[in-house]
Amino acid sequence: MKPTAVAEVCSEVRASQTLHVVGSGTKSSFETPIEAETSLEMSGISGVLAYSPEDRFIDVYAGTTIVELQQILKERGQALAIPDSCEFGALLAGVPGTVGGLVSMNLPHALNSQCGGPREWVLGLTAVRANGDLIYGGGRVVKNVAGYNVHRLFVGARGTLGVIVSVVLRVYPIAAIPHPSCERVREWNSGDPLAIQRVLPTDWDEARRNVSDRLFSCDRSSSTLWYAPAEASDIRFKNDWMIYANRQTGNLVDFSPNTQMLMTATKNQLDLFKKFNPGALGCV
Ligand SMILES: Cc1cc2nc3c(=O)[nH]c(=O)nc-3n(C[C@H](O)[C@H](O)[C@H](O)COP(=O)(O)OP(=O)(O)OC[C@H]3O[C@@H](n4cnc5c(N)ncnc54)[C@H](O)[C@@H]3O)c2cc1C
């Protein structure tokens, strides 16, 4: 189902037992199989709700594509601080990926260490919760929350907490966006297995050496490696972070018991009956 209005999303959420939320599907290779009654494709709801170049924010519908968004911002000399898709190919860009997908995946990118990522750019958002009601979090200014940054829970949640319908994003003057520090080693074919690993700076040399013959790209400034996984020889480092795509044995890495407990508690508050993307993050 591809709604074209927010009210349709609310009705569909109310009526469905389980939903697979989809933007444009460009990051499906990172997903675990999701079995849901309804597929809710959000790319039909796009466009700008508000844009203030002077205040450096834009409020857009979640189905707006990154390419559309960058085009609108470019006219006012601004941009979202992600690298141009042609600079890093399929590894970083998913065309025509949506804003909702970008926020829900929160993947590393080539300007991470210099400009932050979706977690820093999302100033606020509106989402549909499991009972079909709209919820709002954050706002349009940078420091806008006195209590919990509830809207940030949705960043990287892979659609497991609700359907994001609009997002307020912080934007940058193009002139202030530095050149990406990422090194492009060889091309990744988007159907091939991929591992993304982020380590502590003190483990960088060893981590890079370990995957040097399998490397697609790397960024020393954020200690991030993109490479072809080779199960037995993939070394985990203390305090590292890891994510996979197109992997035979599945794309999820086990969460610690403490993390699982917190994720389950959060899921139970926002989506008690596991309506959204069931199993997308394993324990939730
Ligand atoms: C020019 C350009 C540069 C890019 N640079 C980078 C980069 O540097 N790094 C990078 O990682 N990516 C980059 N991308 C890719 C882009 O971030 C993602 O591919 C894209 O935004 C994912 O969107 P999608 O709609 O295809 O997501 P999908 O594959 O459809 O969904 C991804 C996940 O998000 C969830 N989801 C999607 N929409 C919603 C919603 N509305 N509410 C709740 N959950 C939702 C889905 O359930 C799924 O779990 C770039 C893309 C472009 C066009």
CB-based burial of residue 7 (10 Å sphere; 0-12 exposed, 13-18 middle, 19+ buried)? exposed
pLDDT in tens, 46-63: 999 999 999 999 999 999
pLDDT for position 182 = 86
Q: Is 115 in the pocket of ligand 1 (CB under 6 A)?
A: no
Q: C-alpha distances in angstroms, 183 versus 55, 108, 176, 188, 239?
A: 33, 14, 20, 13, 23
96 pLDDT band (50/70/90 cuts)?
A: confident
Q: Which stretches of 62-120 are assigned E, i.e. beta strand?
A: 78-79
More confidently predicted of 247 and 142: 247
More confidently predicted of 255 and 165: 165
| pLDDT at position 94 over 80 | no
| H or E segment to which residue 206 belongs | helix 204-210
Half-sphere exposure at residue 186, Cβ-oriented, CA atoms within 13 angstroms: 10
pLDDT for position 148 = 83
pLDDT for position 38 = 94
| pLDDT at position 90 over 90 | no
pLDDT for position 86 = 61
pLDDT for position 88 = 66
Report, as an integer, the average pLDDT of 5-15. Answer: 97
Q: Is 101 in the pocket of ligand 1 (CB under 6 A)?
A: yes
pLDDT for position 198 = 96
Report percent pLDDT > 70 for the chain.
96
Cα(202) to ligand 1 centroid in Å equals: 30
**Ligand 1 pocket: which of 1, 43, 66 to mutate (most atoms within 8 A of CB):** 66
Q: Is the pTM of this model over 0.85?
A: yes
Report, as an integer, the average pLDDT of 265-269. Answer: 95
Flag the least confident range among 39-43, 120-124, 221-225, 229-233: 229-233
Cα(46) to ligand 1 centroid in Å equals: 14
pLDDT in tens, 61-74: 999 999 999 999 99
Which tokens sit at 34?
């999701």
Contact 91, 59 (CB under 8 A): no
Q: Is 3 in the pocket of ligand 1 (CB under 6 A)?
A: no
89 pLDDT band (50/70/90 cuts)?
A: low
pLDDT for position 263 = 96
For ligand 1, atom 34, the nearest C-alpha belongs to 101
pLDDT for position 150 = 87
Cα(99) to ligand 1 centroid in Å equals: 6
pLDDT for position 179 = 87
Average pLDDT, the chain: 92
pLDDT in tens, 102-145: 999 999 888 888 899 999 999 999 999 999 999 999 888 877 77
More confidently predicted of 104 and 179: 104
Atom of ligand 1 nearest to the CA of 42: 41
| pLDDT at position 1 over 80 | yes
